[in-house]
């Protein structure tokens, strides 16, 4: 069995590649980082190390790579794959779509077996988004043919993998916890079950629980931590004030999730507590810059901050700390992050009122808009 995985980065090697290799797949990574591709082609293996006291390691073998900048190679790899997965970043999906579409055309011409394409990104409906990008490259006739044999099941992936600073450039240090949940209702009949994947009939509760707890809480720690001058999540969470606010943020999203999906409140409280422990993992050094990266994406209306805040507000659930985390996102001025720089420029050019609306799509008359603005002004004076 051969899996083609787009993105040989932290999640690609440290999570998806590891699971697929252990499940018996030969994993072919497609990446645009020349050095990474060459190393994977040469070594055909790499190490994953767990961030815990034992520092347990896994030797991942039977891997190779192709250069994603070569469209013919990408199409050929997709044409010959038994499974396609991605972890490139949701904004990059549009750039890999043409190669996948070409590969699907080849499969149709060859009468190849059915295929699942699973996007493992931090987003709601990641595979569905990828499908739309891929379909935009297909003719109407080809879309019908592809529809019959190719499925794009949505997924939720959870494992904290920080930026790596290892001597061995292929080694990846990951937290011990992982969860990969796939929407079974979107799979083709008779699909092959992969050990390590949790298949569920309805994904929405899982993806919202993960995105609105792990990702919302994590980016709140990054933005509130950055405002206070911390460089890592571990440092930020060691500050009692930041840690308390992060907990309140997750309690707000928790109240929404419990109301919306009927989760048991006590169990959800335990889930939050475990996530706080994961954020504080002393064996990881996770940079605020990574966890807060791409604030335009994170402040967008369908993502981890605005979506739960609006849903909670609509249900009459009080939200105070979520708008504060959003306000801190408008102060995230990481010089290496293009999206952060764009927001800073807008704050200066347009003013905070218009900038809030521009990025969150929250209208100036909405009470949450005023909340964000008030917090922004207070944070500017007293971080
Ligand atoms: N790092 C983490 O803890 C987690 C990340 N995620 C999600 O996984 C995705 C990847 O994140 P990371 O692995 O952290 O990022 P990363 O930056 O380590 O890896 C992304 C990889 O994609 C490659 N890439 C970029 N453009 C490409 C293209 N056109 N074709 C092929 N490869 C391309 C990059 O060269 C890089 O190696 C993101 O959507 C992220 O939100 C999800 C859960 C956890
Ligand atoms: O990858 P993104 O969406 O930029 O956000 C970083 C997020 O990824 C994770 O590492 C895993 O979901 C979180 O810890 C963090 O919130």
DSSP string covering 280-307: T-TT---BHHHHT--HHHHTSTTSTTHH
CA of 149 to the centre of ligand 2 (A): 32
Q: Is 3 annotated as a binding residue?
A: yes
Q: Same domain for 249 and 267? A: yes
> Does 157 contact ligand 2 (Cβ within 6 A)?
no
pLDDT digits (tens, 9 = 90+) for 346-357: 999 999 999 999
Q: pLDDT band at residue 337, thresholds of 50, 70 and 90? A: very high
pLDDT digits (tens, 9 = 90+) for 72-93: 999 999 999 999 999 999 999 9
51: which residues sit within 8 A by CB, 6+ positions away? 173, 174, 175, 176, 281, 283, 284
Q: pLDDT band at residue 306, thresholds of 50, 70 and 90? A: very high
Q: pLDDT band at residue 377, thresholds of 50, 70 and 90? A: very high
CA of 250 to the centre of ligand 2 (A): 15
Name residue, tokens 């590969």: 103
Q: Same domain for 214 and 184? A: no
Q: Same domain for 119 and 237? A: no
Average pLDDT over residues 18-41: 98
Q: Is 9 annotated as a binding residue?
A: yes
Q: pLDDT band at residue 255, thresholds of 50, 70 and 90? A: very high
Q: Same domain for 286 and 213? A: yes
Average pLDDT over residues 219-232: 98
- Write down the pLDDT at residue 76: 98
Name residue, tokens 């206070």: 228
Average pLDDT over residues 129-135: 98
Average pLDDT over residues 329-337: 98
Coil vs helix vs strand at 118: strand
Ligand nearest to the CA of 33: 1
Q: Is 255 annotated as a binding residue?
A: no
Query: Total structural domains in the chain?
Result: 2
Ligand 1: which atom is nearest the Cα of residue 14?
13
Q: Which domain holds residue 309?
A: 205-381
- Write down the pLDDT at residue 246: 98
Task: State the CATH number of the domain containing residue 141.
Answer: 3.40.50.720
- Last residue within a domain, chosen from 151, 168, 201: 201
Counting ligand 2 atoms within 8 A of each CB, the residue from 90, 92, 214 with the most, and so the one to mutate, is 214
- Write down the pLDDT at residue 19: 98
- Write down the pLDDT at residue 66: 98
- Last residue within a domain, chosen from 163, 179, 201: 201
Q: Is 142 exposed, middle or buried (0-12, 13-18, 19+ CB in 10 A)?
A: middle
> Does 18 contact ligand 1 (Cβ within 6 A)?
no
Ligand 1: which atom is nearest the Cα of residue 86?
9
- Last residue within a domain, chosen from 201, 219, 235: 201
> Does 92 contact ligand 1 (Cβ within 6 A)?
yes
Q: Same domain for 193 and 218? A: no
Q: Same domain for 160 and 269? A: no
Q: Same domain for 177 and 223? A: no
Yes or no: say if 190 and 155 are a contact pair by the CB < 8 Å rule. Answer: no
pLDDT digits (tens, 9 = 90+) for 137-193: 999 999 999 999 999 999 999 999 999 999 999 999 999 999 999 999 999 999 999
pTM of the model: 0.95
Q: Same domain for 24 and 63? A: yes
Q: Is 340 annotated as a binding residue?
A: no
Q: pLDDT band at residue 382, thresholds of 50, 70 and 90? A: confident
- Residue of minimum CA distance from atom 12 in ligand 2: 158
Counting ligand 2 atoms within 8 A of each CB, the residue from 124, 218, 336 with the most, and so the one to mutate, is 218
> Does 210 contact ligand 2 (Cβ within 6 A)?
no
């Amino acid at each position: 069995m051969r899996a083609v995985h787009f993105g040989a980065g932290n999640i690609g090697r440290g999570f998806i590649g590891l699971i697929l290799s252990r499940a018996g797949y030969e994993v072919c990574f497609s990446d645009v980082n020349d050095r990474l591709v060459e190393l994977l082609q040469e070594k055909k293996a790499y190490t994953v190390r767990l961030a815990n006291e034992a520092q347990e390691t896994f030797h991942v073998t039977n891997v190779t790579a192709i250069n994603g900048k070569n469209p013919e190679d990408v199409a050929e790899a997709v044409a010959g794959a038994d499974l396609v997965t991605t972890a490139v970043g949701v904004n990059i999906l549009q750039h890999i779509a043409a190669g996948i579409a070409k590969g699907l055309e080849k499969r149709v011409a060859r009468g190849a077996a059915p295929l699942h394409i699973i996007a493992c990104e931090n987003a709601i409906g990641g595979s569905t988004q990828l499908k739309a990008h891929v379909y935009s490259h297909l003719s109407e006739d080809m879309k019908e043919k592809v529809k019959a044999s190719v499925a794009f099941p949505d997924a939720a992936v959870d494992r904290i993998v920080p930026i790596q600073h290892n001597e061995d450039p292929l080694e990846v240090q990951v937290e011990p916890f992982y969860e990969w949940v796939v929407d079974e209702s979107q799979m083709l009949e008779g699909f092959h079950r992969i050990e390590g994947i949790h298949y569920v009939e309805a994904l929405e509760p899982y993806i919202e629980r993960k995105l609105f707890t792990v990702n919302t809480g994590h980016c709140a720690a990054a933005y509130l931590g950055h405002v206070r001058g911390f460089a890592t999540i571990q440092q930020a969470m060691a500050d009692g004030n930041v840690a308390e606010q992060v907990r309140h943020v997750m309690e707000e999203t928790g109240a929404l999730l419990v109301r919306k999906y009927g989760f048991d409140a006590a169990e959800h409280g335990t889930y939050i507590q475990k996530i706080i422990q994961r954020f504080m993992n002393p064996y990881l050094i996770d940079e605020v810059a990574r966890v807060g990266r791409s604030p335009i994406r994170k402040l967008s209306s369908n993502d981890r901050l605005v979506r739960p805040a609006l849903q909670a507000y609509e249900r009459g659930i009080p939200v105070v700390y979520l708008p504060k985390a959003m306000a801190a996102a408008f102060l995230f001025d990481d010089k290496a992050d293009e999206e952060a720089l764009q927001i800073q420029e807008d704050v200066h050019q347009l003013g905070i009122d218009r900038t809030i609306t521009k990025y969150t799509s929250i209208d100036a008359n909405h009470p949450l808009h005023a909340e964000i603005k008030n917090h922004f002004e207070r944070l500017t004076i007293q971080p």
